[in-house]
Amino acid sequence: MLIGKGEKLVMIGDSVTDCGRTQPVAEGLFDPLGRGYVTFVDALLSACYPELGIRVVNMGNSGNTVRDLQARWTRDVLDLKPDWLSICIGVNDVWRQFDIPRQTEKHVMLEEYAATLGQLVSTTRPQLKGLVLMTPYYIEPNRDDAMRMRMDEYGAAVRQIAAAHDAHFVDLQAAFAPLLEHVHSAAISWDRIHPNQTGHMVIARAFLKAIGFSWTGAPA
């Protein structure tokens, strides 16, 4: 497993990461990490690798775009001094182009998205032991759907940024594909963005696979 003993993992993103987490910094007592994949990641790391004492911090904020991440980056990432960082952003950057098409000032187009995310990654990567970049997604199997097509373009940008900066890449759109072969998207998410517990476990599983997680823990 790639994350080492006593290391801190900060997971930042939008509502999919937030999931009702404690503000301002989600770590500590009384279930602070919310109801989503961050809690699953923390629980599985704690259960399978108790000897490592890995710290997981949830810094997701509902409604965020990459612009919002940039505005709070110093406070919510750099000041926390993570060893590992996970970024999952882009859903709202795309979604606002479809649900409020006339409010163009709230649209984060692909060029801006890639440039902003790339800048955050390039300036932060040297301070980290490890970085995980997860794609935005749309829980829709039809690749010709307009929003799915746009989301795939943003996912491709994340892949390029990960390759350029020695980051672990997690394709969440691909992670949902096997599930969608057997169940309708409505059984996973009412709006095809905010998943139920099954969907959050898909995200957690994809993240954990990227960091070399094993159900049996560290080798004896």
Write out pLDDT tens, residues 147-176: 999 999 999 999 999 999 999 999 999 999
- Residue positions annotated with a catalytic role: 15, 191, 194
Rounded Cα gap, residues 137 and 154, in angstroms: 9
> How far apart are alpha carbons 101 and 164 in whole angstroms?
32
In which band, very low, low, confident or very high, does the pLDDT at 183 lie, cut at 50, 70 and 90?
very high
**Mean pLDDT over each residue of the chain, to the nearest integer:** 96
The band of 8, judged by pLDDT with boundaries at 50, 70 and 90, is very high
Question: What is the domain class of 8-210 according to CATH?
Answer: alpha beta
**Domain range annotation of the chain:** 8-210
* Angle 31-34-35 from CA coordinates, rounded to 5°: 105
What pLDDT does 216 receive? 80
Contact (CB, 8 A) for 138 and 173: yes
48: which residues sit within 8 A by CB, 6+ positions away?
213, 214, 215, 216, 217
**Tens digit of each residue's pLDDT (9 = 90 or more) over 33-85:** 999 999 999 999 999 999 999 999 999 999 999 999 999 999 999 999 999 99
What three-state secondary structure class fits 128? coil
